[in-house]
Chain A
Amino acid sequence: MPVKVSMTVNGKPVTAEVEPRTLLATFIRETLRLTGTHVGCDTAQCGACTVHLNGRAVKSCNILASQADGADVVTIEGIARADGTLHPMQEAFRQHHGLQCGFCTPGMVMSAIDLVKTTPNPTEQQIREGLDGNLCRCTGYHNIVKAIQAASAAMR
Chain B
Amino acid sequence: MGDMNLIGASVKRKEDYRFLTGAGTYTDDVVLPQQTYAVFVRSPHAHAKLRAVRTDAAKKAPGVVGVFTGADTAAVGGLPCGWLITSKDGTPMKEPAHPILAKEKVRHVGDPVAIVIAETYAQARDAAELVDVDYEVLPAAVDVRDAVKPGAPAVHAEAPDNKCYVWGHGDAAAVDKAFKAAHHVTKLEFANNRLIPNAIEPRAANAVYSRADDSYTLYVANQNPHVERLLMTAFVLGLPEHKVRVVAPDVGGGFGSKIFLYAEDVVLTWASKQVNRPVKWTAERSESFMTDAHGRDHYTVAELALDKDGRFLAMRVHTLANLGAYLSTFASSVPTILYATLLAGQYTTPAIYAEVTGVFTNTTPVDAYRGAGRPEATYVVERLVETAARDLKMDPAEIRRRNFIRSFPYATPVGLTYDTGNYEKTLDAVLKLADVAGYAKRKEESAKKGLLRGIGYSCYIEACGLAPSNIAGALGARAGLFEAGEVRVHPTGKVTIFTGSHSHGQGHETTFAQVVADRLGIPIEDVDIQHGDTGKILFGMGTYGSRSLAVGGTAIVKALDKVVNKGKKIAAHLMEAAEADIEFKNGFFQVAGTDKKKAFAEIALTAYVPHNYPLDKLEPGLNENAFYDPTNFTYPAGSYVCEVEVDPETGVVRIDRFSAVDDFGNIVNPMIVEGQVHGGLAQGIGQALLEGCRYDPETGQLLTGTYQDYAMPRADDLPAYQVGTEKTPCTHNPLGVKGCGEAGAIGSPAAVMNAITDALGVRDVPMPATPQTVWRAIQAKR
Binding site for B on A (CB under 8 A): 19, 21, 29-30, 33-43, 45-46, 48, 75-77, 80, 86, 90, 93-95, 97, 99-106, 109, 124-125, 127-129, 131-132, 134-145
11 A-B residue pairings within 8 Å (CB atoms): A35-B26, A35-B28, A45-B707, A76-B20, A77-B23, A100-B679, A101-B252, A135-B200, A138-B200, A140-B678, A142-B718
Partner of B671, one of A34, A97, A129: A97
A45 cross-chain contacts in B, Cβ below 8 A: 706-708
Task: Name the CB-closest residue of A to B370.
Answer: A137
Please tell me if the beta carbons of B16 and A138 are within 8 angstroms of each other in the complex: no
Between A33, A80, A101, A138, the greatest number of chain B beta carbons within 10 A of the residue's beta carbon is seen for A101
B197 to chain A, nearest CB (A): 8
Q: Does B151 contact A (CB under 8 A)?
A: no
Q: Does B177 contact A (CB under 8 A)?
A: no
Binding site for A on B (CB under 8 A): 10, 12-13, 15-26, 28-29, 31, 122, 198-202, 250-253, 255, 282, 284-286, 504-507, 671-672, 674-675, 678-683, 706-708, 712-716, 718, 720-721, 744
Please tell me if the beta carbons of B24 and A40 are within 8 angstroms of each other in the complex: no
Partner of A140, one of B23, B202, B682: B682
B716 cross-chain contacts in A, Cβ below 8 A: 125, 128-129, 131-132
Query: A129-B716, A142-B721 provided; 16 other pairs, C-beta below 8 A?
Result: A35-B26, A38-B200, A38-B252, A41-B706, A43-B706, A75-B22, A97-B10, A97-B671, A100-B675, A101-B253, A102-B16, A129-B715, A132-B714, A136-B715, A140-B713, A141-B682
Q: Contacts A105-B20, A132-B714, A132-B716: A43 and B678 contacting too (C-beta < 8 A)?
A: no
Please tell me if the beta carbons of B21 and A101 are within 8 angstroms of each other in the complex: no
A136 cross-chain contacts in B, Cβ below 8 A: 200, 715
Please tell me if the beta carbons of A103 and B200 are within 8 angstroms of each other in the complex: yes
Q: Contacts A42-B286, A102-B505, A141-B682: A36 and B21 contacting too (C-beta < 8 A)?
A: yes
Please tell me if the beta carbons of A138 and B20 are within 8 angstroms of each other in the complex: no
A42 to B121, CA, bound (A): 15
B286 cross-chain contacts in A, Cβ below 8 A: 42
Please tell me if the beta carbons of A106 and B22 are within 8 angstroms of each other in the complex: yes
Q: Contacts A43-B285, A76-B21: A97 and B672 contacting too (C-beta < 8 A)?
A: yes
Task: Name the CB-closest residue of B to A43.
Answer: B706
Please tell me if the beta carbons of A21 and B250 are within 8 angstroms of each other in the complex: no
Please tell me if the beta carbons of A36 and B24 are within 8 angstroms of each other in the complex: yes
Task: Name the CB-closest residue of B to A99.
Answer: B19
Please tell me if the beta carbons of B683 and A101 are within 8 angstroms of each other in the complex: no
A127 to B24, CA, bound (A): 26
B24 cross-chain contacts in A, Cβ below 8 A: 36, 102-103
A36 to B707, CA, bound (A): 22
Between A39, A132, A144, the greatest number of chain B beta carbons within 10 A of the residue's beta carbon is seen for A39
Partner of A77, one of B22, B708, B715: B22
Partner of B707, one of A19, A34, A46, A141: A46
Please tell me if the beta carbons of A137 and B715 are within 8 angstroms of each other in the complex: no
A11 to B79, CA, bound (A): 49
A142 cross-chain contacts in B, Cβ below 8 A: 678, 718, 720-721
A36 cross-chain contacts in B, Cβ below 8 A: 21-24
A140 cross-chain contacts in B, Cβ below 8 A: 678-683, 713, 718, 721, 744
Task: Name the CB-closest residue of A to B255.
Answer: A137
A46 to B284, CA, bound (A): 12
Please tell me if the beta carbons of A141 and B200 are within 8 angstroms of each other in the complex: no
B720 cross-chain contacts in A, Cβ below 8 A: 124, 142, 145
Partner of A103, one of B18, B253, B679, B714: B253
Please tell me if the beta carbons of B12 and A103 are within 8 angstroms of each other in the complex: no
A34 to B366, CA, bound (A): 35
A43 to B709, CA, bound (A): 11
A148 to chain B, nearest CB (A): 10
A102 cross-chain contacts in B, Cβ below 8 A: 15-16, 18-20, 24, 250, 252, 505
B689 to chain A, nearest CB (A): 13
Please tell me if the beta carbons of A137 and B683 are within 8 angstroms of each other in the complex: yes
Partner of B20, one of A35, A94, A125, A134: A94
Please tell me if the beta carbons of A48 and B706 are within 8 angstroms of each other in the complex: no
Q: Contacts A19-B122, A35-B22, A137-B712: A94 and B17 contacting too (C-beta < 8 A)?
A: yes
A101 cross-chain contacts in B, Cβ below 8 A: 19, 199-201, 250-253, 504-505
B146 to chain A, nearest CB (A): 30
Task: Name the CB-closest residue of B to A126.
Answer: B716
Please tell me if the beta carbons of B16 and A99 are within 8 angstroms of each other in the complex: yes
A95 cross-chain contacts in B, Cβ below 8 A: 12
B627 to chain A, nearest CB (A): 27
B755 to chain A, nearest CB (A): 18
4 nearest A-B residue pairs (beta carbon)? A36-B22, A103-B252, A102-B19, A140-B682
Please tell me if the beta carbons of A40 and B13 are within 8 angstroms of each other in the complex: no
Please tell me if the beta carbons of A43 and B17 are within 8 angstroms of each other in the complex: no
A41 to B744, CA, bound (A): 26
A65 to B335, CA, bound (A): 47
A153 to B23, CA, bound (A): 26
Please tell me if the beta carbons of B21 and A35 are within 8 angstroms of each other in the complex: no
A134 cross-chain contacts in B, Cβ below 8 A: 715
A76 cross-chain contacts in B, Cβ below 8 A: 20-22
A39 to B505, CA, bound (A): 17
Task: Name the CB-closest residue of B to A89.
Answer: B20
Please tell me if the beta carbons of B708 and A43 are within 8 angstroms of each other in the complex: yes
A76 to B714, CA, bound (A): 22
Please tell me if the beta carbons of A139 and B122 are within 8 angstroms of each other in the complex: no
Task: Name the CB-closest residue of B to A34.
Answer: B22
B17 cross-chain contacts in A, Cβ below 8 A: 86, 94
A34 to B21, CA, bound (A): 11
